[in-house]
């Protein structure tokens, strides 16, 4: 009902329907962002004497709650790949919201250890669905002129979810936050059921007339117009090309073709930089970190300081799209990686000085350093590797590479979040932050020596650089960085 009402009032050729469906489709990503942010204010509350559970939750349980999301997300990436191909993008996205709703319902039902960990495990389906289905859906429903803008809503909505829960964690009760979070996926399920399937998937199923109707609605045009026919023919041609991109064929191409394999290796290494720069661990355990950094004289509570991080992350996300087009991919990725590494070094030095002297002065320093790290992550480290990945692979390989890289990233993060709290307790926060700094600095060297600039370059030009004859310096630099 909603779609016909909108079509009646939108101007011919308007993009309003594409914007509406894009805003609705990123609600599951918002829910996932809220689930990530929820750990920061609620983790300390669950471990405190005022815990909503029967007794204070053990720190090991909190670590498992943080890491199990990505442990489950690793295999479910491929499950969602199967679902979107065989049951459709729309059903896959609705399943994503259903899993997020189930997560919040289980937490409302019980605060026992089994419930907390099970609920967080179900979030793993949410992260897989968010990052497998949503970018694909946006690509298939949007026009070229606004595809980049609509695509930026994915990371922006996740960061907004983080920020909202950081703020709610300061002012609402444990169960009130859960009810607010539950409302989002339920609202998405109710509204998104009225939205159409993507024209590309409808064509794949042989439903040409339904695809025409969906495309006409998305473009705010009549189905009989010539412009709709032209775009429909382009989609049919793209569908024919995509048939050659089967998973096994794609894997064979990645492994056997030298340039493609090198591009794949570069993608995996910059994914390591993105996931092990420490920013995700900071977001999960922000309140705990700020509690240790606080000297009691700072005007903001740990949760309020965490909310500042969320606000900085939002600013970084908003500036990312303009920065990546102005500076290029490689300079932005290298600069943000280096600055993040320097900030992590400073953060580690501050905590190390604290352990030596016991003095917690200059509490502004860890806050400034963390804000700088989070800004660099949102403005470059997080979005740029995805941009580079899409620009270094053909249409036939892009889906396979994306699934593998997301699964690899989930596996990395699951280990990182599981060991973060035990490591910080045993060897100190300073050592953990120095490890993150080392990853950033070594990655900066790799980016400078090996990663190609992909801005406004064809695939042939990129492959000519990464697959062509290497200089001795390039080989030596890559060998040193790989060993490190």
pLDDT for the residue numbered 474 = 45
Is residue 73 within 8 Å of residue 128, measured between CB atoms? yes
pLDDT for the residue numbered 169 = 86
Helical (H) or strand (E) element with 278: none
Contacts of 356 (CB under 8 A, 6+ apart): none
Residues 267-291 pLDDT 10s: 999 999 988 888 878 877 776 777 7
Is residue 285 within 8 Å of residue 432, measured between CB atoms? no
Q: Which regions of the chain are under pLDDT 50?
A: 1-8, 296, 469-475, 477, 480-481, 484
Is residue 185 within 8 Å of residue 31, measured between CB atoms? yes
pLDDT for the residue numbered 31 = 94
Written as six digits, the tokens of 136 are 């694909």
pLDDT for the residue numbered 48 = 84
Is residue 345 within 8 Å of residue 337, measured between CB atoms? no
Q: Does the structural domain 1-195 have CATH classification 3.40.630.30?
A: no
Residue 168 and residue 41: Cα distance in Å, rounded?
9
Residues 144-172 pLDDT 10s: 777 667 777 787 888 889 889 988 988 88
pLDDT for the residue numbered 242 = 60
- Is 245-484 the same fold as 1-195? yes
Selecting from 3.30.390.10, 3.40.50.620, 1.20.1250.20, 3.40.50.720, what CATH number does the domain 245-484 have? 1.20.1250.20
pLDDT for the residue numbered 472 = 43
Q: What are residue 54's phi and psi, to 5 degrees?
A: -65, -35
Domain ranges of the chain: 1-195, 245-484
């Amino acid at each position: 009902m909603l779609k016909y009402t909108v079509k009646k009032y939108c101007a011919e050729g308007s993009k309003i329907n594409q914007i509406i469906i894009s805003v609705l489709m990123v609600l599951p990503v918002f829910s996932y962002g809220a689930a990530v942010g929820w750990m920061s204010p609620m983790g300390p509350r669950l471990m405190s004497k005022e815990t909503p559970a029967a007794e204070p939750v053990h720190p090991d349980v909190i670590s498992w709650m943080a890491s199990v999301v990505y442990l489950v997300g690793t295999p479910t990436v491929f499950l969602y790949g199967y679902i979107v191909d065989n049951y459709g993008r729309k059903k896959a996205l609705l399943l994503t919201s259903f899993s997020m709703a189930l997560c919040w319902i289980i937490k409302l039902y019980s605060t026992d250890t089994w419930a907390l960990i099970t609920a967080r495990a179900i979030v793993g389906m949410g992260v897989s669905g968010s990052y497998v289905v949503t970018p694909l859906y946006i690509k298939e429903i949007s026009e070229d002129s606004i595809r980049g803008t609509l695509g930026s809503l994915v990371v922006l909505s996740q960061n907004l979810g983080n920020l909202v829960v950081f703020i709610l964690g300061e002012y609402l009760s444990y169960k009130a936050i859960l009810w607010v979070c539950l409302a989002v996926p339920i609202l998405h399920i109710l509204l998104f059921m009225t939205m159409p399937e993507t024209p590309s998937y409808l064509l794949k199923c042989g439903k040409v007339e339904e695809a025409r109707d969906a495309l006409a609605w998305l473009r705010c045009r009549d189905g009989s117009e010539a412009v709709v026919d032209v775009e429909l023919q382009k989609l049919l041609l793209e569908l024919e090309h995509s048939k050659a991109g089967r998973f096994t064929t794609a894997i064979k191409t990645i492994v056997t073709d030298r340039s493609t394999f090198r591009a794949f290796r570069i993608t995996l290494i910059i994914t390591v930089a993105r996931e092990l720069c420490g920013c995700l661990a900071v977001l999960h355990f922000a309140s705990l970190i700020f509690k240790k950094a606080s000297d009691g004289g700072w005007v903001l509570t740990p949760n309020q300081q965490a909310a500042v991080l969320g606000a900085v992350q939002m600013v970084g996300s908003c500036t990312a799209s303009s920065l990546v087009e102005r500076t290029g991919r490689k300079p932005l990725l290298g600069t943000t990686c280096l600055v993040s590494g320097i900030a992590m070094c400073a953060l580690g030095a501050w905590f190390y000085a604290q352990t030596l002297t016991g003095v917690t002065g200059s509490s502004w320093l860890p806050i400034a350093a963390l804000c700088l790290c989070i800004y660099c992550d949102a403005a470059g480290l997080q979005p740029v590797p995805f941009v580079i990945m899409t620009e270094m692979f053909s249409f036939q390989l892009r889906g396979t590479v994306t699934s593998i890289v997301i699964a690899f990233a989930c596996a990395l993060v699951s280990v990182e979040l599981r060991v973060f709290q035990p490591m910080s307790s045993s060897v100190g926060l300073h050592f953990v932050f120095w490890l993150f700094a080392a990853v950033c600095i070594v990655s900066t060297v790799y980016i400078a020596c090996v990663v190609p600039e992909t801005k406004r370059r064809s695939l042939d030009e990129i492959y000519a650089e990464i697959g062509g004859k290497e200089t001795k310096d390039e080989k030596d630099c890559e060998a040193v960085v790989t060993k490190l």
